[in-house]
Amino acid sequence: MTAKLINGAEIARQIREEIKQEVIQLKAKHNLVPGLATVLLGADPGSLSYITGKEKTARELGFYSERIDLPETTSQKDLLSLIEKLNKEPKIHGILVQMPLPEHINESEVLYAIDPRKDVDAFHPVNVGKLMIGDADYLPCTPAGIQQLLIRSGVKIDGAEVVVVGRSNIVGKPIANILMQKNKGANATVTLCHTHTRDLASHTHRADILIVAAGKLKAVTADMVKEGAVVIDVGVNQIGTSTSGKRIIRGDVDFDAVKEKASMITPVPGGVGPMTITMLMLNTLKAAKLAAGLA
């Protein structure tokens, strides 16, 4: 079997078009414009590229977008004061502080200071807890993107054996949580594997849907995959730089071999990646509607 490619760029484009139409409606009917504040400390090239993408997408979708660039030496106190100000600003519905933050900043304290209603990353413990009990307002962006890729590719999630490799707070734990909920687009039987899992292949072999967020090149090889499985590769590993200076990226899955066994697979790049920013926009739209009593 040669797997069908799940085209994340195209699915993300469709969702962005849906958001754009809804923003036009909200503006016309309720004079409501979703507002996103993006905050960056310092000038790390990776973070700069991510945050520029977020800000640009927000503007393209008709959002109000406020970009705040602060020096790397900004104090904890000044960052917390900024968040306090953004928490109170009615034009801003979503606040995104780009991670990682410089060493002298206490990251948890910053995340906890964001009003959970404006926490469009869904990293605040209130939002993590609400997801856990099946009462989420916002889903964290990368896992929400994975769920949408599965749903919009017609993958049957209900009752499926899902195996997740990796237990990060940003991907592994929340995607396991989302897909085990008693919800449409979920109801799966989920196994979460990690670096201390004994005999990883014995678990991955059972997966109808295999989600790999291990942070390691070729963490999953063809012999670990069941014939016909759906494989979602969340890995972002830089293997080199092209002659034009672009980063060359590969996932965590041995793509060339695994695509001969899977029924569907996400490529890297162009699979999960394009979904993340799009889901951030969906959360910001939801935050605006919740603030206006429209959701």
In whole angstroms, give the CA distance from residue 63 to residue 284: 9
Give me the catalytic one of 118, 119, 121, 137: 121
Which has the closest alpha carbon to 160: 202, 212, 211, 196? 211
Neighbours of 263 (CB within 10 A): 16
Select from 6, 58, 86, 96 the one that contacts ligand GUN (CB under 6 A): 96
- Catalytic (active site) residue 238: no
Q: Which residue has the tokens 């066994």?
A: 261
Q: With respect to ligand GUN, which residue has the nearer C-beta, 121 or 252?
A: 121
Q: How many residues bind ligand GUN (CB under 6 A)?
A: 6
In whole angstroms, give the CA distance from residue 183 to residue 179: 8
Give me the catalytic one of 54, 173, 226, 261: 54
Span of 66-74, 90-98, 101-109, 219-227 interacting with ligand GUN by CB under 6 A: 90-98
For the chain, report the end-to-end CA distance as a whole number of angstroms: 44
Does position 127 interact with ligand GUN (CB under 6 A)? The reply is no
- Which ranges constitute the DSSP H helices of 61-89? 76-88
Which has the closest alpha carbon to 211: 172, 261, 154, 256? 172
Does position 121 interact with ligand GUN (CB under 6 A)? The reply is yes
- Catalytic (active site) residue 182: no
Radius of gyration from C-alpha coordinates of the chain: 19
Give me the catalytic one of 20, 76, 78, 98: 98
Span of 69-77, 97-105, 148-156, 193-201 interacting with ligand GUN by CB under 6 A: 97-105
Distance of closest approach, residue 83 Cβ to ligand GUN, in angstroms? 13
SS3 192: strand
- Backbone phi, psi, residue 32, to 5°: -110, 125
Does position 97 interact with ligand GUN (CB under 6 A)? The reply is yes
In whole angstroms, give the CA distance from residue 276 to residue 242: 24
Draw the binding track, 129-158, toward ligand GUN (x: CB under 6 A; -: no contact): ------------x-----------------
Distance of closest approach, residue 111 Cβ to ligand GUN, in angstroms? 9
- Catalytic (active site) residue 115: no
Q: Which residue sits closest to ligand GUN, CB atoms considered?
A: 99
Select from 98, 127, 147, 266 the one that contacts ligand GUN (CB under 6 A): 98
Q: Which two tokens stand for residue 210?
A: 């295999």
DSSP 225-243: S-TT-EEEE---EEEEE-T
Span of 61-69, 92-100, 144-152, 211-219 interacting with ligand GUN by CB under 6 A: 92-100
Q: Which residues bind ligand GUN (CB under 6 A)?
A: 96-99, 121, 141
Enzyme catalytic residues: 54, 98, 121
